Structure 1
Amino acid sequence: MHATVIFNNLCKNLDNIPTDDQSAALIKIAGYISRNTNDAIFILTGYAGTGKTSVISSVVKTLEVLRLKSVLLAPTGRAAKVLGRYADRPAFTIHKKIYRQKSSRDGMGSFVLDRNLHRNTYFIVDEASMISNESSESSFFGSGKLLDDLIEYVYSGTDCKLILVGDSAQLPPVGSN
């Protein structure tokens, strides 16, 4: 589908008249959705109160109109709940979606990267600035690098894309510089 049609849908599905910054973001998102490349990651950044969550909601509604699927993710349960409320659909923690528990004889089960069975799906991750990629030897989850695991999971699916949304002014994840 042409980027102009997608942009018009994004604007229509926004709950307000887009600000100049939102319009610029919507133009770039429309271009990202219209391209058939599956190896690119779209990163949307903005300070608190700039309308990132409204833009996400518009993207989700537009993807539905275009008959494209989306999965909403956030690093914490609280962030997932807020995201789900704004987008009016379920949102999950990243850990819940991308990992599955591996059975263990000693009862100390670890979690391994699950298989991504999604097809033609946009994974939209809010509060992405909270995602750490610091390796943790004591981690029970995947490789111990959440960002690497997230990217590997998303792109192991068929024709899946990743949209990361965050605020660079927020505090970095615990344990990072």
Structure 2
Amino acid sequence: MVNEELKYRILQNFGFAPTADQLHAVEVFARFMTDRDEHAVMILRGSAGTGKTSLAGAIVRTMQELRQKVTLLAPTGRAAKVFSLNANQPAATIHRSIYREKAFTGLDGKFNLNVNLFHDRLFMVDEASMISLSSNNSTFGSGCLLDDLIQYVYNDHNCRMLLVGDKAQLPPVGEEESPALRADVLRAYGLTVYECDLNEVLRQSQDSGILYNATVIRQMITHDEVTQLP
């Protein structure tokens, strides 16, 4: 019953007739949110134009209607600003939210992982393809952003996370793929993973040369194929 009500409200807030991919994503999200496992995580993957941003906005509006607590995060200030505008709710950078500065000791300032004091909260992270698994910045926490983000969110107080991103975007430096969008990587943290992909591109007309080439390149990346561009 709760599952069906959640799906209905998201689709009402979506405002468009959903594609099969979008409808499946709503169904997966409803199962994810009603799972009693406190270590559930969801990955929503989709390229530009698939309605990923619109769906994320509908989810935020639905959570607000249901008086469910949502925190919006993104890896960079620019991404956080765009996410905030699209969702009509304040968003912050991951670093600003999960780290706190240690006592000032000169130019080599260090930041410790903060304590997540929230309860019963959904953390939505946009542009998750930019989140690194490599330990390449010891200034912040453990130096591994994905490790720290997961440790921060999953505080045994019924917080969970939705990671949103495009797997065809360039991965973080030193990574072959975007680790935060990979189910196998997240399962290695002991998380129960829900995942879905939005593949149907809607935003531009089907005869657009830019759209065609972007779609072909995404398919090449996804399927590791060589395709002739016009």
What is the TM-score when the length of structure 1 is the normalising length?
0.95
- Counterpart code for 2:30: A
Give the aligned partner of residue 59 of structure 1. Answer: 59
Which residue of structure 2 lines up, in the alignment, with residue 38 of structure 1?
38
- d(CA) in 2 for partners of 1:45 and 1:166? 5
Task: Give the SS at the match of 2:135.
Answer: coil
1: CA distance between counterparts of 2:156 and 2:78? 26
- More moved, 5-14 vs 16-25: 16-25
Structure 2 residue 88 is matched with structure 1 residue 88? yes
Q: In 2, are the aligned partners of 1:102 and 1:109 still within 8 Å (CA)?
A: yes
Partners of 1:157 and 1:67 lie apart in 2 by: 21
The 5 A counterparts of 1:19-168 are 19-136=19-136, 138-156=137-155, 158-168=157-167
The question of whether the paired residues in 2 share the 8 Å contact of 1:118 and 1:158 is answered with yes
Cα distance between partner residues in 2 of 1:110 and 1:157: 26
Q: How many residues align?
A: 176
- Residue aligning to 1:169: 168
Structure with more contact order per residue of length (Cα contacts < 8 Å, sep ≥ 6) = 2
The one-letter amino acid of 2:158's match is D
Structure 1: runs of 5+ lacking an equivalent: none
Structure 1 range deviating more: 167-176 or 77-86: 167-176
Q: Is the 8 A contact 2:129 2:165 kept in 1?
A: yes
Distance 1:14 1:102 in 2: 43
Normalising by structure 2, we get a TM-score of 0.74
Match of 2:172, SS state, is coil
* 8 Å Cα contact 1:125-1:165 kept in structure 2: yes
* CA distance in 2 between partners of 1:50 and 1:61 (Å): 19
Shift of 1:176: 1.9
> SS at 2:44's partner residue?
strand
Q: Check conservation: 2:38, 2:156, Cα contact below 8 A.
A: no
8 Å CA contact 1:6, 1:34 repeated in 2: no
Q: After TM superposition, give the deviation of residue 106 of structure 1 in Å.
A: 3.7
Write the distance in 1 (CA, Å) between the matches of 2:156 and 2:128: 20
Structure 2, unaligned stretches of length 5 or more? 177-230
Query: Following the alignment from structure 1 to structure 2, what is the Cα–Cα distance between the partners of residues 162 and 90?
Result: 17
- The answer to whether the Cα contact below 8 Å between 2:101 and 2:109 also exists between their aligned partners in 1 is yes
Residues 15 and 54 in structure 1, CA contact (< 8 A), matched pair in contact too: no
What is the rounded CA distance, in whole Å, between the counterparts of 1:38 and 1:48 in structure 2? Answer: 31
Larger Rg over CA atoms: 2
